[in-house]
Structure 1
Amino acid sequence: MARWQPNAPERLVVAALDLFAERGYESTTVIDIAERAGLTKSTFFRHFPDKREVLFAGGGSMADVLAEGIAAAPDTAAPLEAVAHGLDAVGREVFVPARRAFATKRQTVIAANPELREREALKGIDLTAAMAGALRSRGVSDVASRVAVQLGALVMKIAYERWTGTDEGEEFGDVARQALAEVREAGALSLA
Protein backbone atom coordinates (compact mmCIF):
# COMPACT_ATOMS: atom_id res chain seq x y z
CA MET A 1 0.00 0.00 0.00
CA ALA A 2 1.10 3.52 -0.68
CA ARG A 3 2.31 5.54 2.31
CA TRP A 4 -0.23 8.30 1.70
CA GLN A 5 -3.76 7.81 0.49
CA PRO A 6 -6.16 10.66 -0.30
CA ASN A 7 -9.36 11.03 1.73
CA ALA A 8 -8.29 8.42 4.28
CA PRO A 9 -10.67 9.56 7.05
CA GLU A 10 -13.67 9.58 4.73
CA ARG A 11 -12.75 6.19 3.30
CA LEU A 12 -12.42 4.74 6.79
CA VAL A 13 -15.81 6.13 7.83
CA VAL A 14 -17.54 4.67 4.78
CA ALA A 15 -15.77 1.32 5.19
CA ALA A 16 -16.66 1.16 8.88
CA LEU A 17 -20.29 2.02 8.30
CA ASP A 18 -20.61 -0.57 5.54
CA LEU A 19 -19.01 -3.26 7.68
CA PHE A 20 -21.05 -2.39 10.77
CA ALA A 21 -24.20 -2.65 8.65
CA GLU A 22 -23.10 -5.95 7.08
CA ARG A 23 -21.53 -7.75 10.04
CA GLY A 24 -22.57 -5.79 13.08
CA TYR A 25 -20.51 -3.45 15.20
CA GLU A 26 -19.22 -6.12 17.57
CA SER A 27 -18.09 -8.43 14.75
CA THR A 28 -16.07 -5.77 12.94
CA THR A 29 -12.44 -5.04 13.82
CA VAL A 30 -10.24 -2.05 13.13
CA ILE A 31 -8.18 -4.26 10.81
CA ASP A 32 -11.36 -5.16 8.88
CA ILE A 33 -12.17 -1.46 8.48
CA ALA A 34 -8.66 -0.53 7.37
CA GLU A 35 -8.51 -3.38 4.86
CA ARG A 36 -11.94 -2.49 3.41
CA ALA A 37 -10.73 1.10 2.98
CA GLY A 38 -7.48 -0.08 1.38
CA LEU A 39 -5.44 1.37 4.24
CA THR A 40 -3.39 0.12 7.16
CA LYS A 41 -4.28 -0.25 10.82
CA SER A 42 -1.79 2.49 11.70
CA THR A 43 -3.53 4.84 9.25
CA PHE A 44 -6.80 4.10 11.02
CA PHE A 45 -5.30 5.02 14.39
CA ARG A 46 -3.78 8.17 12.95
CA HIS A 47 -7.32 9.44 12.37
CA PHE A 48 -9.47 7.72 15.03
CA PRO A 49 -8.76 6.50 18.56
CA ASP A 50 -11.03 3.44 18.21
CA LYS A 51 -13.68 1.89 15.99
CA ARG A 52 -16.52 3.56 17.86
CA GLU A 53 -15.25 7.06 17.15
CA VAL A 54 -15.18 6.49 13.40
CA LEU A 55 -18.95 7.11 13.38
CA PHE A 56 -18.68 10.29 15.43
CA ALA A 57 -16.04 12.20 13.48
CA GLY A 58 -16.93 15.83 12.99
CA GLY A 59 -19.12 16.08 16.08
CA GLY A 60 -17.19 19.13 17.20
CA SER A 61 -17.70 20.82 13.87
CA MET A 62 -21.47 20.25 14.08
CA ALA A 63 -21.49 21.88 17.52
CA ASP A 64 -19.53 24.79 16.05
CA VAL A 65 -21.96 25.17 13.13
CA LEU A 66 -24.91 25.07 15.53
CA ALA A 67 -23.34 27.69 17.84
CA GLU A 68 -22.36 29.93 14.92
CA GLY A 69 -25.89 29.72 13.52
CA ILE A 70 -27.32 30.77 16.88
CA ALA A 71 -24.82 33.62 17.12
CA ALA A 72 -25.75 34.80 13.61
CA ALA A 73 -29.47 34.99 14.40
CA PRO A 74 -30.90 38.52 14.35
CA ASP A 75 -30.48 40.42 17.62
CA THR A 76 -34.27 40.54 17.92
CA ALA A 77 -34.64 36.74 17.75
CA ALA A 78 -36.13 35.08 20.82
CA PRO A 79 -33.99 32.28 22.30
CA LEU A 80 -35.88 29.44 20.59
CA GLU A 81 -35.85 31.30 17.28
CA ALA A 82 -32.07 31.73 17.63
CA VAL A 83 -31.82 27.95 18.14
CA ALA A 84 -33.90 27.51 14.97
CA HIS A 85 -31.30 29.60 13.12
CA GLY A 86 -28.66 27.22 14.44
CA LEU A 87 -30.64 24.24 13.14
CA ASP A 88 -30.96 25.97 9.77
CA ALA A 89 -27.16 26.27 9.68
CA VAL A 90 -26.76 22.59 10.51
CA GLY A 91 -29.11 21.81 7.62
CA ARG A 92 -27.10 23.92 5.21
CA GLU A 93 -23.67 22.67 6.28
CA VAL A 94 -23.96 19.24 7.89
CA PHE A 95 -27.25 17.49 7.12
CA VAL A 96 -27.20 18.15 3.41
CA PRO A 97 -29.37 16.06 1.05
CA ALA A 98 -26.34 14.26 -0.39
CA ARG A 99 -25.60 12.83 3.10
CA ARG A 100 -29.13 11.62 3.87
CA ALA A 101 -28.50 7.98 2.84
CA PHE A 102 -25.27 7.90 4.85
CA ALA A 103 -27.01 9.46 7.88
CA THR A 104 -29.87 6.97 7.65
CA LYS A 105 -27.51 4.00 7.51
CA ARG A 106 -25.45 5.46 10.38
CA GLN A 107 -28.56 5.89 12.49
CA THR A 108 -29.60 2.27 11.87
CA VAL A 109 -26.16 1.02 12.95
CA ILE A 110 -26.19 3.20 16.08
CA ALA A 111 -29.70 2.09 17.05
CA ALA A 112 -28.58 -1.55 16.94
CA ASN A 113 -25.76 -1.16 19.46
CA PRO A 114 -25.95 0.04 23.09
CA GLU A 115 -22.34 1.29 23.12
CA LEU A 116 -22.98 3.43 20.06
CA ARG A 117 -26.28 4.72 21.47
CA GLU A 118 -24.40 5.79 24.57
CA ARG A 119 -21.81 7.61 22.48
CA GLU A 120 -24.59 9.28 20.47
CA ALA A 121 -26.15 10.48 23.72
CA LEU A 122 -22.81 12.00 24.77
CA LYS A 123 -22.63 13.76 21.42
CA GLY A 124 -26.10 15.15 22.13
CA ILE A 125 -24.84 16.56 25.42
CA ASP A 126 -22.04 18.33 23.56
CA LEU A 127 -24.55 19.82 21.13
CA THR A 128 -26.79 21.10 23.92
CA ALA A 129 -23.75 22.62 25.64
CA ALA A 130 -22.87 24.40 22.39
CA MET A 131 -26.41 25.76 22.12
CA ALA A 132 -26.38 26.91 25.75
CA GLY A 133 -23.04 28.65 25.34
CA ALA A 134 -24.20 30.42 22.20
CA LEU A 135 -27.39 31.59 23.91
CA ARG A 136 -25.47 32.84 26.96
CA SER A 137 -23.22 34.79 24.60
CA ARG A 138 -26.36 36.47 23.28
CA GLY A 139 -27.23 37.52 26.83
CA VAL A 140 -30.07 35.06 27.30
CA SER A 141 -30.92 34.37 30.95
CA ASP A 142 -30.06 31.00 32.44
CA VAL A 143 -33.67 29.78 32.71
CA ALA A 144 -34.65 30.95 29.22
CA SER A 145 -31.47 29.42 27.83
CA ARG A 146 -32.10 26.08 29.51
CA VAL A 147 -35.67 25.92 28.24
CA ALA A 148 -34.68 26.90 24.69
CA VAL A 149 -31.81 24.39 24.67
CA GLN A 150 -33.99 21.51 25.87
CA LEU A 151 -36.71 22.32 23.35
CA GLY A 152 -34.07 22.81 20.67
CA ALA A 153 -32.56 19.40 21.43
CA LEU A 154 -36.01 17.83 21.20
CA VAL A 155 -36.67 19.58 17.89
CA MET A 156 -33.30 18.45 16.55
CA LYS A 157 -33.97 14.84 17.56
CA ILE A 158 -37.44 14.83 15.99
CA ALA A 159 -36.17 16.52 12.83
CA TYR A 160 -33.20 14.15 12.48
CA GLU A 161 -35.41 11.09 12.91
CA ARG A 162 -37.82 12.39 10.28
CA TRP A 163 -35.09 13.52 7.88
CA THR A 164 -33.26 10.19 8.03
CA GLY A 165 -36.51 8.25 7.90
CA THR A 166 -37.50 9.41 4.43
CA ASP A 167 -36.08 9.43 0.94
CA GLU A 168 -37.89 12.65 0.15
CA GLY A 169 -35.85 15.66 -0.91
CA GLU A 170 -36.94 17.81 2.01
CA GLU A 171 -34.16 19.93 3.50
CA PHE A 172 -33.21 19.33 7.12
CA GLY A 173 -33.83 22.98 7.99
CA ASP A 174 -37.39 22.75 6.69
CA VAL A 175 -38.00 19.54 8.63
CA ALA A 176 -36.59 21.20 11.76
CA ARG A 177 -38.80 24.28 11.33
CA GLN A 178 -41.86 22.02 11.00
CA ALA A 179 -40.85 20.09 14.13
CA LEU A 180 -40.35 23.39 15.96
CA ALA A 181 -43.85 24.53 15.01
CA GLU A 182 -45.28 21.25 16.30
CA VAL A 183 -43.31 21.49 19.57
CA ARG A 184 -44.50 25.05 20.08
CA GLU A 185 -48.11 23.97 19.41
CA ALA A 186 -47.81 21.02 21.82
CA GLY A 187 -46.35 23.35 24.46
CA ALA A 188 -49.21 25.78 24.05
CA LEU A 189 -51.74 22.96 24.41
CA SER A 190 -50.10 21.63 27.56
CA LEU A 191 -50.12 25.09 29.16
CA ALA A 192 -53.79 25.76 28.37
Structure 2
Amino acid sequence: MDRQHGLASSLRELKQQRAREALVEAAHALFDERGFERVTVTDIAARAEVGRATFFRYFGDKQEVVFADVGELDAAMAEAARIPSGGPIGASMPAALAFVRAVVVSYMLRLTAEPDTYARHERLVDSHPELQARSLIKQRRYAEALRGLLEDRGAEHETAAMAAEIGLAAFYAGRRIAGNDPERLPGAVEAAFDRLT
Protein backbone atom coordinates (compact mmCIF):
# COMPACT_ATOMS: atom_id res chain seq x y z
CA MET A 1 0.00 0.00 0.00
CA ASP A 2 2.82 2.43 0.90
CA ARG A 3 4.59 1.75 -2.40
CA GLN A 4 1.39 2.47 -4.32
CA HIS A 5 0.88 5.70 -2.36
CA GLY A 6 4.49 6.73 -3.05
CA LEU A 7 4.09 6.07 -6.77
CA ALA A 8 0.85 8.05 -6.92
CA SER A 9 2.52 10.91 -5.04
CA SER A 10 5.49 10.88 -7.45
CA LEU A 11 3.20 10.91 -10.47
CA ARG A 12 1.19 13.78 -9.02
CA GLU A 13 4.37 15.78 -8.38
CA LEU A 14 5.58 15.10 -11.93
CA LYS A 15 2.24 16.24 -13.34
CA GLN A 16 2.37 19.41 -11.24
CA GLN A 17 5.93 20.14 -12.36
CA ARG A 18 4.95 19.69 -16.01
CA ALA A 19 1.94 21.98 -15.63
CA ARG A 20 4.09 24.67 -14.02
CA GLU A 21 6.75 24.37 -16.74
CA ALA A 22 4.05 24.54 -19.45
CA LEU A 23 2.72 27.75 -17.91
CA VAL A 24 6.18 29.32 -17.80
CA GLU A 25 6.94 28.34 -21.41
CA ALA A 26 3.54 29.56 -22.61
CA ALA A 27 3.93 32.87 -20.79
CA HIS A 28 7.36 33.60 -22.22
CA ALA A 29 6.29 32.64 -25.73
CA LEU A 30 3.32 34.99 -25.46
CA PHE A 31 5.42 37.79 -23.97
CA ASP A 32 7.77 37.47 -26.95
CA GLU A 33 4.91 37.44 -29.46
CA ARG A 34 2.62 40.14 -28.04
CA GLY A 35 4.53 42.00 -25.37
CA PHE A 36 4.07 41.71 -21.62
CA GLU A 37 1.22 44.24 -21.38
CA ARG A 38 -0.95 42.52 -23.97
CA VAL A 39 -0.89 39.08 -22.36
CA THR A 40 -3.48 38.03 -19.80
CA VAL A 41 -3.55 35.15 -17.35
CA THR A 42 -6.35 33.66 -19.47
CA ASP A 43 -4.06 33.79 -22.53
CA ILE A 44 -1.27 32.01 -20.67
CA ALA A 45 -3.55 29.30 -19.31
CA ALA A 46 -5.10 28.72 -22.74
CA ARG A 47 -1.68 28.44 -24.42
CA ALA A 48 -0.55 25.97 -21.75
CA GLU A 49 -3.84 24.06 -22.17
CA VAL A 50 -4.81 24.37 -18.51
CA GLY A 51 -7.51 26.29 -16.68
CA ARG A 52 -7.11 29.66 -14.95
CA ALA A 53 -7.44 27.92 -11.59
CA THR A 54 -4.35 25.84 -12.44
CA PHE A 55 -2.44 29.03 -13.25
CA PHE A 56 -3.32 30.51 -9.87
CA ARG A 57 -2.30 27.30 -8.12
CA TYR A 58 1.30 28.07 -9.15
CA PHE A 59 1.46 31.84 -9.60
CA GLY A 60 -0.21 34.82 -7.96
CA ASP A 61 -0.16 36.90 -11.14
CA LYS A 62 1.55 37.09 -14.52
CA GLN A 63 4.49 39.01 -13.02
CA GLU A 64 5.35 35.96 -10.91
CA VAL A 65 5.77 33.87 -14.06
CA VAL A 66 8.62 36.15 -15.11
CA PHE A 67 10.43 35.23 -11.89
CA ALA A 68 9.77 31.51 -12.02
CA ASP A 69 13.49 30.86 -11.47
CA VAL A 70 13.03 30.86 -7.69
CA GLY A 71 13.76 27.14 -7.86
CA GLU A 72 17.22 28.10 -9.13
CA LEU A 73 17.77 30.12 -5.96
CA ASP A 74 16.60 27.21 -3.82
CA ALA A 75 18.91 24.81 -5.70
CA ALA A 76 21.82 27.25 -5.37
CA MET A 77 21.17 27.64 -1.65
CA ALA A 78 21.02 23.86 -1.18
CA GLU A 79 24.31 23.59 -3.07
CA ALA A 80 25.78 26.40 -0.97
CA ALA A 81 24.89 24.54 2.20
CA ARG A 82 27.45 21.92 1.09
CA ILE A 83 30.27 24.46 0.52
CA PRO A 84 32.90 23.99 3.24
CA SER A 85 33.50 27.11 5.32
CA GLY A 86 36.42 25.84 7.39
CA GLY A 87 34.64 26.12 10.72
CA PRO A 88 32.36 28.72 12.30
CA ILE A 89 32.64 32.14 10.64
CA GLY A 90 32.04 34.16 13.79
CA ALA A 91 32.98 37.82 13.29
CA SER A 92 35.46 37.13 10.44
CA MET A 93 34.44 39.30 7.51
CA PRO A 94 37.04 37.66 5.18
CA ALA A 95 35.60 34.21 5.97
CA ALA A 96 32.05 35.48 5.51
CA LEU A 97 32.88 37.14 2.18
CA ALA A 98 34.70 34.04 0.92
CA PHE A 99 31.59 31.99 1.59
CA VAL A 100 29.27 34.62 0.05
CA ARG A 101 31.51 34.79 -3.01
CA ALA A 102 31.24 31.04 -3.55
CA VAL A 103 27.45 31.19 -3.24
CA VAL A 104 26.93 34.25 -5.47
CA VAL A 105 29.27 33.02 -8.22
CA SER A 106 27.64 29.58 -8.16
CA TYR A 107 24.23 31.22 -8.48
CA MET A 108 25.42 33.41 -11.36
CA LEU A 109 26.75 30.37 -13.21
CA ARG A 110 23.33 28.72 -12.85
CA LEU A 111 21.45 31.83 -14.00
CA THR A 112 23.63 32.39 -17.04
CA ALA A 113 23.94 28.73 -18.08
CA GLU A 114 21.47 29.50 -20.87
CA PRO A 115 22.62 32.94 -22.03
CA ASP A 116 19.71 33.54 -24.41
CA THR A 117 17.14 32.79 -21.71
CA TYR A 118 18.94 35.02 -19.24
CA ALA A 119 19.20 37.90 -21.75
CA ARG A 120 15.51 37.58 -22.70
CA HIS A 121 14.50 37.68 -19.04
CA GLU A 122 16.64 40.74 -18.34
CA ARG A 123 15.28 42.61 -21.39
CA LEU A 124 11.73 41.89 -20.28
CA VAL A 125 12.36 43.08 -16.71
CA ASP A 126 14.28 46.18 -17.82
CA SER A 127 11.46 47.30 -20.10
CA HIS A 128 8.70 47.25 -17.44
CA PRO A 129 8.84 49.31 -14.23
CA GLU A 130 6.47 46.94 -12.42
CA LEU A 131 8.82 44.03 -13.17
CA GLN A 132 11.82 46.08 -12.03
CA ALA A 133 10.03 46.67 -8.73
CA ARG A 134 9.27 42.95 -8.37
CA SER A 135 12.91 42.19 -9.15
CA LEU A 136 14.05 44.41 -6.29
CA ILE A 137 11.75 42.54 -3.92
CA LYS A 138 13.27 39.25 -5.11
CA GLN A 139 16.77 40.64 -4.55
CA ARG A 140 15.87 41.30 -0.93
CA ARG A 141 14.88 37.64 -0.64
CA TYR A 142 18.31 36.64 -1.97
CA ALA A 143 20.06 38.86 0.59
CA GLU A 144 18.00 37.35 3.40
CA ALA A 145 18.78 33.83 2.18
CA LEU A 146 22.51 34.65 2.18
CA ARG A 147 22.28 36.12 5.67
CA GLY A 148 20.53 32.98 6.88
CA LEU A 149 23.17 30.73 5.34
CA LEU A 150 25.93 32.73 6.99
CA GLU A 151 24.25 32.56 10.39
CA ASP A 152 23.83 28.81 9.90
CA ARG A 153 27.62 28.74 9.44
CA GLY A 154 28.13 30.45 12.77
CA ALA A 155 28.52 34.03 11.53
CA GLU A 156 27.61 36.72 14.03
CA HIS A 157 24.44 38.60 13.11
CA GLU A 158 26.21 41.85 12.16
CA THR A 159 28.84 40.03 10.09
CA ALA A 160 26.17 37.97 8.32
CA ALA A 161 24.05 41.03 7.53
CA MET A 162 26.99 43.05 6.20
CA ALA A 163 28.49 40.20 4.15
CA ALA A 164 25.11 39.40 2.56
CA GLU A 165 24.63 43.03 1.51
CA ILE A 166 28.20 43.25 0.20
CA GLY A 167 27.58 40.07 -1.80
CA LEU A 168 24.51 41.64 -3.37
CA ALA A 169 26.52 44.79 -4.12
CA ALA A 170 29.23 42.70 -5.82
CA PHE A 171 26.52 41.09 -7.94
CA TYR A 172 25.18 44.51 -9.02
CA ALA A 173 28.69 45.84 -9.65
CA GLY A 174 29.45 42.79 -11.80
CA ARG A 175 26.26 43.36 -13.77
CA ARG A 176 27.25 46.97 -14.41
CA ILE A 177 30.84 46.09 -15.35
CA ALA A 178 29.75 43.29 -17.71
CA GLY A 179 26.93 45.32 -19.23
CA ASN A 180 24.75 42.46 -17.95
CA ASP A 181 26.21 40.23 -20.68
CA PRO A 182 25.53 36.66 -19.50
CA GLU A 183 28.79 35.41 -21.03
CA ARG A 184 30.86 37.91 -19.01
CA LEU A 185 28.74 38.20 -15.88
CA PRO A 186 30.18 35.41 -13.67
CA GLY A 187 33.74 36.65 -14.32
CA ALA A 188 32.73 40.24 -13.64
CA VAL A 189 31.14 39.23 -10.33
CA GLU A 190 34.36 37.38 -9.41
CA ALA A 191 36.34 40.52 -10.33
CA ALA A 192 34.08 42.62 -8.10
CA PHE A 193 34.81 40.30 -5.18
CA ASP A 194 38.53 40.45 -6.02
CA ARG A 195 38.43 44.23 -5.67
CA LEU A 196 36.96 43.85 -2.18
CA THR A 197 39.97 41.88 -0.97
CA RMSD of aligned residues (A): 2.9
2:62 aligned partner: 51
Using a 3 Å threshold, how does the CA distance of structure 1 residues 113 and 162 change in structure 2: closer, same or farther?
Answer: same
Paired letter, 1:50: D
Q: Could you list the runs of 5+ residues in structure 2 that have no partner in the other structure?
A: 1-14, 88-93
Is the 2:112–2:118 Cα contact (8 Å) retained in structure 1? no
Larger Rg: 2
2:6 aligned partner: none
Question: Matches of 1:132 and 1:145 in 2, distance apart?
Answer: 5
Is the 1:87–1:156 Cα contact (8 Å) retained in structure 2? yes
1:180 aligned partner: 193
2:18 aligned partner: 7
Q: Which secondary structure does the structure 2 equivalent of 1:52 belong to?
A: helix
Deviations 1:86-131 (A, max 9, x none): 1233245x3252x221121111111122221111111111110010
Question: Matches of 2:193 and 2:167 in 1, distance apart?
Answer: 8
1:29 aligned partner: 40
Q: Alignment identity in percent?
A: 29
1:117 aligned partner: 132
1:40 aligned partner: 51
Q: Which secondary structure does the structure 2 equivalent of 1:143 belong to?
A: helix
Using a 3 Å threshold, how does the CA distance of structure 1 residues 175 and 110 change in structure 2: closer, same or farther?
Answer: same
User: What TM-score does the superposition give when structure 2 sets the normalisation length?
Assistant: 0.73
* 1:54 CA drift (Å): 0.9
Question: Matches of 2:179 and 2:23 in 1, distance apart?
Answer: 22
Is the 2:118–2:182 Cα contact (8 Å) retained in structure 1? no
Is the 1:70–1:131 Cα contact (8 Å) retained in structure 2? no
Greater relative CO (CA pairs within 8 A, separation 6+):
1
Question: Matches of 1:60 and 1:167 in 2, distance apart?
Answer: 19
